[in-house]
Structure 1
Amino acid sequence: MRFPFISALCAAGFGLAALPAAAADAPTSVVTVITSADAQTQLMGMVLTMQSIKAGATGHMLLCGPGGDIALKDAPESATAGQPPMDMSPQGLMQKIREAGATVEVCAIYLPGKGAETDVLLDGITVASPPEMAERMMMPNARVLTF
């Protein structure tokens, strides 16, 4: 056997650590942080956030750096162009996530870094409060996703 340590770990019950947590320990909140400029990465973050919401979690999305551009009324084409296989754009799915009840915010330093004001943001998207976002991220039943 090439990897005898694997057999030893399994025999010792190491595999039990990979079992799913009890329902009571399941995350009830998902905080998704999007920083990537890549449309496919942004969209995958949106897909997993939406699936988490459909599974019963509350959603909070934080858009920073190039990820913040998704929140702009005048967003780059990469944020608004449909992606396969569903022809959905990162911005389009972000709007559906917001309509599903999730909060969508840009980082507190995003707009000052662009030299812009809140009027450049899509309706319903606000600027995050760092203490409130940190509190959301530190909740015992929160899951933080970063893309």
Structure 2
Amino acid sequence: MKKTLVALAIALGSTTAFADKQAVTVVLNAQSPMTQGMAMVLANQMQEQGAQVDILLCDHAGDLALKGAGGEALKPNNVTPAQLLDGAMKKGATASVCALYLPNSGKKPEDLKDGIKPAKPADMAGSMLEPNRKLIGF
């Protein structure tokens, strides 16, 4: 009986820890490859430290969401901001482009990488208002 209670307490503790994952929204609109790269490096690092990361790409940073996005490889690891975004998404980050990106860039939803969609302003605003969510802008 005691072993069962201990196992249950551990299981509940694990569930609580998972539910208490820090939520972070990274808003990226910078055109600079180094700023884009640093935002994506930090997004990946926050994930590795247990955060649930949501990435909102606006203005020129929306180009990172396009299929075949290239860009300048940055030292020291010789990866592009687009590759860093892909890595974050593979580890569970969500990514979206701001609602203004597609209609003002001449791009269409089918131009976006798999898993990236235009953000819905009401939904995005709601998540940004969550009391324990951190918002970080670049």
TM tier relative to shorter chain: 0.7 to 0.9
> How far apart, CA to CA, are the structure 2 residues paired with 1:105 and 1:73?
13
Given the alignment of the two structures, is residue 114 of structure 1 paired with residue 105 of structure 2, yes or no?
yes
**Alpha-carbon distance, 1:115 to partner:** 2.2
What CA deviation, in whole Å up to 9, does each residue of 1:63-94 have, x standing for no partner? 0000101111243x5xx331001111100010
Give me the TM-score of the superposition, normalised by structure 1: 0.76
Instruction: Give the counterpart of 2:56 among 40, 52, 62.
Output: 62
Question: Could you list the runs of 4 or more consecutive aligned residues of structure 1 that deviate by over 4 angstroms after TM superposition?
Answer: none
2:78 corresponding residue in structure 1: 87
Instruction: Give the counterpart of 1:34 among 28, 34, 37.
Output: 28
Instruction: Give the counterpart of 2:120 among 126, 129, 144.
Output: 129
Q: Secondary structure at the match of 1:119?
A: helix
Closer, same or farther: CA 33–121 of 1 in aligned 2, 3 Å: same
Give me the TM-score of the superposition, normalised by structure 2: 0.81
> How far apart, CA to CA, are the structure 2 residues paired with 1:74 and 1:49?
21
Say if 2:99 and 2:118, in contact at 8 Å, map to a contact too: yes
Say if 1:35 and 1:67, in contact at 8 Å, map to a contact too: yes
> How far apart, CA to CA, are the structure 1 residues paired with 2:129 and 2:42?
20
Instruction: Give the counterpart of 2:38 among 28, 36, 44.
Output: 44
What CA deviation, in whole Å up to 9, does each residue of 1:12-63 have, x standing for no partner? xxxxxxxxxxxxxx97111001100000000100111111111111010000
- Structure 1, unpaired ranges of 5+: 1-25
1:16 corresponding residue in structure 2: none
**Alpha-carbon distance, 1:114 to partner:** 1.4
